[in-house]
Structure 1
Amino acid sequence: MIKSSDEKRNGTGDGTRVNEIAIEARNTIKAFGQGGVAVRALDDVSVEIRKGEFFTLLGPSGCGKTTLLRLIAGFETPTSGQILLHGTDITHLPPNKRPVNTVFQSYALFPHLTVAENVGFALKMQGRPRAEVAQTAREMLELVRLGHLADRRITQMSGGQQQRVALARALAARPQVLLLDEPLSALDLKLRQEMQVELKRLQHETGITFVFVTHDQEEALTMSDRIGVMSAGKIQQIGSPREIYTRPVNRFVASFIGETNFLPATLGPEGARLSGGEVIELATPGPRHGPVTLTVRPEQLRLTPPDEPGALPATVTDWVYLGTDTHVHLQLRDGTALVARLQSNPSGETDLTRGGAMGVRFAPGAVQVVED
């Protein structure tokens, strides 16, 4: 049953709450190989994915995100641990018995069938009545805005259109959870950006729990209600896009999500002291005294005249014009490199000079301590 947006915000229409847990992985370990050569793709991973949310597993290649998706789908069985769906243990349930569908990186559409026949294929194989198959295919194609192309052959469709057909086919079975394994990676930049908006719209309109796997930070930040950042078989941090970006828990998360600057410092009673002697006041006290790493995003840097009181003395080493932004590369007097992201001058002109002196200030509350 497709839920309305009001049902999704306030409940599901059947008395359950939106924050009900749809998928849960408990202490999940997945090892490939035997004995001393065994490799842990997942290392004691636990995560709760809420009903009706767009949850993204984000991380570099080999981090374990696709392995976790395959455990949820039933294509792999954990070495230990459990996978639960709405509180029911489905760890050993075969894929065809799970109310879960998957959209893969390769769409695997049938070129000899029409668009509508592709969408209704699985329902037809289940022996559903012909009228029901046709009606469901029409509804799903309207949902992905391809109703007018129902009779077209797959070979006559663009990459973006084929991706929508694959989504419609996956949604036709009315899954409780839709798994998406990097489905946008084969599209060019503009199509990817368009499909990001479309995927979020589909998730919002259907109310289905989406679990999306990607290595692309922009995709994760654009579409997700929450993100689980993964590295080396572990989940490093779970939070909203804003939480992940503005309050990373460690150096890996800070560096993987967008661009950032790292500054070595020593924490003391007066704040964070850089190796050049400058003291930076932190919005919240650091977890300990002694050597630490600070992080601050490039857009939180402001350039000032070099003699402005309180500004860090720096030297301009280079700048890169990127249209809407200009990235200014700087070096503090202790040798630490920084990048400031400034809104570009509409004329494209700049008064920056390589080797020129500049002051640097940080936005209030922008500098924080991260764990290495």
Structure 2
Amino acid sequence: MTAETIISARNVVKAFGQGAAAVRALDDVSLDILRGEFFTLLGPSGCGKTTLLRLIAGFEMPTGGQILLDGADITTLPPNRRPVNTVFQSYALFPHLTVAQNVAFGLQMLGKPAAEVKATTARMLALVKLDHLAGRKTAQLSGGQQQRVALARALAPQPKVLLLDEPLSALDLKLRKEMQVELKRLQIETGITFVFVTHDQEEALTMSDRIGVMSNGKLQQVGTAKDIYTRPRNRFVASFIGETNFLTGTAEDDALRIAGGARIPVPGLRAGGAATVTVRPEQLRLGPPAEGGLPATVRDLVYFGTDTHCHLLLEDGTELVARLQSPASGEAGFVTGQKVGLRFAEGAVQKVEE
């Protein structure tokens, strides 16, 4: 554990049930979260991310391993003795109280002086831009406003760590994107460590300083959004973070030989049996067959506004998708059935473990 680490999970195991029927929600997870960072636990439903969050909060006890906060062992401490707060998906606001009273509630429970409660409540409402709604009941607020109240209430006691359990999932798409920006702003302005749980890859990529990708109770990879997107450790990470293409074949030195006989450059690959590589759709380049590249046929075109997804078929039957910028009005683009030559951007093809 480094001096910068604020949360450390050491060989954490969490099993539900007994004996042969026991299910390991977390299987020997070790992780360091740094002070002042926005850290996201990302993965599909049932991967263990919320279980890990609940262990940090103290709502669950681990079957094995330790949880440390600022170097102190908090593994068995009850939630009320941990300097962390949690924002839940449901927000759990008090409908009979005003916005200001909701934010002040936690401070009052801590026995803070009335003047401090008033000043802190005002500061938190200004931070989340709800000071003009201080006297309104929470039932009269929109979903986005209610979430801001929940954030202000959780931030008011100045916890060392703020835990967020999929707090954006109940919002519509436009509001969710707006709140992604707001959450990151709040984290930067307060300097508090945020640990955010989501299954939404876009949320993770746009907000996080670092991401921990989880699957089947295990931590698959930890890194920055760019690291994980451009250099995924295994097939699961590559497929879960964004869209990608996979190619399988025989590993040669610095190349992959696919079924049709074509040789795809893969710097660093060493000869040695079967191998799988991945390449992102935006890293595919299409041109006339006469210019070389892998022979391919345009099978389908799907328009997404600024982008067009071009579904391609190689001669050996392999299907790939290229993400291309949609042509401007009047410009000629590709058409279904067209023969093309396919190339890959330099360094874009990466070997992945199964």
Band the TM-score falls in, shorter-chain normalisation: over 0.9
- CA deviation vs aligned residue, 1:64-118 (integer Å, no higher than 9, x gap): 0000000000000000000000110000000000000000000011111110000
- Counterpart in the other structure of 2:329: 347
Matched, 1:42 2:29: no
CA displacement at 1:307 relative to structure 2: 2.0
C-alpha distance in 2 between matches for 1:320 and 1:149: 45
Determine which of 127, 141, 160 is the counterpart of 2:111: 127
Matched, 1:364 2:338: no
Gaps of 5+ in 1: 1-17
Q: Sort the Cα spacing of 1:354 and 1:189 in 2 relative to 1 into closer, same or farther, 3 A.
A: same
Q: Is the 8 A contact 2:37 2:209 kept in 1?
A: yes
- Counterpart in the other structure of 1:21: 5
Q: Sort the Cα spacing of 1:143 and 1:288 in 2 relative to 1 into closer, same or farther, 3 A.
A: farther
- CA deviation vs aligned residue, 1:168-213 (integer Å, no higher than 9, x gap): 0000111000000000000000111000000001101111000000
Q: Sort the Cα spacing of 1:187 and 1:270 in 2 relative to 1 into closer, same or farther, 3 A.
A: closer
| Partner secondary structure for residue 290 of structure 2 | coil
Q: Which moved further from structure 2: 53-62 or 345-354? A: 345-354
TM-score normalized with structure 1 length:
0.93
Structure 1 segments (4+ residues) deviating >3 Å: 348-351
C-alpha distance in 2 between matches for 1:104 and 1:54: 17
Alignment of 1:220-259 (within 5 A): 220-259=204-243
- CA deviation vs aligned residue, 1:248-277 (integer Å, no higher than 9, x gap): 000000000000000112111362111111
C-alpha distance in 2 between matches for 1:151 and 1:33: 47
C-alpha distance in 1 between matches for 2:330 and 2:69: 54
C-alpha distance in 2 between matches for 1:63 and 1:155: 33
| Partner secondary structure for residue 133 of structure 1 | helix
Q: Sort the Cα spacing of 1:286 and 1:125 in 2 relative to 1 into closer, same or farther, 3 A.
A: same
Matched, 1:271 2:255: yes
- Counterpart in the other structure of 2:173: 189
Q: Is the 8 A contact 1:300 1:362 kept in 2?
A: yes
> Partner letter of residue 58 of structure 1?
L
C-alpha distance in 2 between matches for 1:128 and 1:22: 25
Number of positions where the alignment pairs a residue of Structure 1 with one of Structure 2:
353
- Counterpart in the other structure of 2:269: 286
Q: Sort the Cα spacing of 1:267 and 1:66 in 2 relative to 1 into closer, same or farther, 3 A.
A: same
- Counterpart in the other structure of 1:300: 283
TM-score normalized with structure 2 length:
0.98
Alignment of 1:64-75 (within 5 A): 64-75=48-59
> Partner letter of residue 211 of structure 2?
I
CA displacement at 1:350 relative to structure 2: 4.7
C-alpha distance in 1 between matches for 2:27 and 2:101: 42
- CA deviation vs aligned residue, 1:25-68 (integer Å, no higher than 9, x gap): 00000000000000000000000000000000000000000000
CA displacement at 1:353 relative to structure 2: 2.4
Q: Is the 8 A contact 2:256 2:265 kept in 1?
A: yes
> Partner letter of residue 235 of structure 2?
R
- Counterpart in the other structure of 1:100: 84
Q: Is the 8 A contact 1:270 1:279 kept in 2?
A: no
C-alpha distance in 2 between matches for 1:111 and 1:298: 47
Q: Sort the Cα spacing of 1:242 and 1:153 in 2 relative to 1 into closer, same or farther, 3 A.
A: same
Q: Is the 8 A contact 1:64 1:233 kept in 2?
A: yes
- Counterpart in the other structure of 1:322: 304
* RMSD of aligned Cα (Å): 1.2
Q: Which moved further from structure 2: 267-276 or 176-185? A: 267-276
- CA deviation vs aligned residue, 1:281-336 (integer Å, no higher than 9, x gap): 113x1255111111000000011101212x10001110100001000000100111
CA displacement at 1:160 relative to structure 2: 0.4
C-alpha distance in 2 between matches for 1:124 and 1:71: 26
- Counterpart in the other structure of 1:5: none
- Counterpart in the other structure of 1:334: 316
| Partner secondary structure for residue 248 of structure 1 | coil
Q: Is the 8 A contact 2:12 2:30 kept in 1?
A: yes
Q: Sort the Cα spacing of 1:280 and 1:95 in 2 relative to 1 into closer, same or farther, 3 A.
A: same
C-alpha distance in 1 between matches for 2:190 and 2:299: 51
CA displacement at 1:346 relative to structure 2: 2.5
| Partner secondary structure for residue 56 of structure 2 | helix
- Counterpart in the other structure of 1:6: none
> Partner letter of residue 297 of structure 2?
T
Q: Is the 8 A contact 2:254 2:269 kept in 1?
A: no
> Partner letter of residue 326 of structure 1?
T
Q: Is the 8 A contact 1:42 1:64 kept in 2?
A: yes
Q: Sort the Cα spacing of 1:197 and 1:25 in 2 relative to 1 into closer, same or farther, 3 A.
A: same
> Partner letter of residue 235 of structure 1?
L
Gaps of 5+ in 2: none
> Partner letter of residue 320 of structure 1?
V
C-alpha distance in 2 between matches for 1:66 and 1:176: 19
